[in-house]
Amino acid sequence: LPEADTPSPERIFAVVVAIMQSQFDLDESELVPGAHLVDDLDLDSIDGVDLSVKAEEELGVEIQPEDLGELQTLQDVVDLLHRLVTRAR
């Protein structure tokens, strides 16, 4: 497949930001790459499930529950999703 079919990290970041805004009532200004998922964005384990489900729908990837445990920041989420979309293509 051509390279262009794989969403860029920037595109994935935008997708994650949009999910967090719609699902968790978060403001775009808080959603910076370095934002800590728990300490800054106040996400909990249920949010983790919802974020996974939405990201799977949007990006056509499959996220394993154990992948989520290691995520600390918003950038970690983007990196994980980028790895998964690259592998999926």
Partner 1 sequence: VSVSIQILVSGTTDRAMNRTLRILGTGASFLLFGLSSAVLGMLLYPLLLLVPGGRVERELRMQWLIHQGFRAFVGFMKAVGVIRVSTEGAEALRAPGAVLVVANHPTLIDFVLLGSLMPQLDCVAKRAIWANPFMRGIVRGAGYVPNDDGDSTVAACAERLRAGRNILLFPEGTRSPGDGSLGPFHRGAAHVAIAAGHPLLPVTIRCVPRGLMRGQKWYDVPERRMHFTLSVAEPIAVPEADAPRGTGARRLTAGLREHFEKRLALA
- Contacts with partner 1 by CB under 8 A lie at 22-25, 44-50
Give the nearest distance from C-beta 54 to partner 1 in angstroms. Answer: 9
The residue (of 53 and 88) whose beta carbon lies closer to partner 1 is: 53
The residue (of 1 and 46) whose beta carbon lies closer to partner 1 is: 46
- Which tokens is 6 given? 């794989």
Cβ proximity of 23 and 58 under 8 Å: no
What are the DSSP calls for 53-81, one per residue?
Answer: HHHHHHH-----HHHHTT--BHHHHHHHH
- Which tokens is 34 given? 């370095």
Give the nearest distance from C-beta 72 to partner 1 in angstroms. Answer: 18
The residue (of 9 and 47) whose beta carbon lies closer to partner 1 is: 47
- Which tokens is 26 given? 């978060």
Give the nearest distance from C-beta 47 to partner 1 in angstroms. Answer: 5
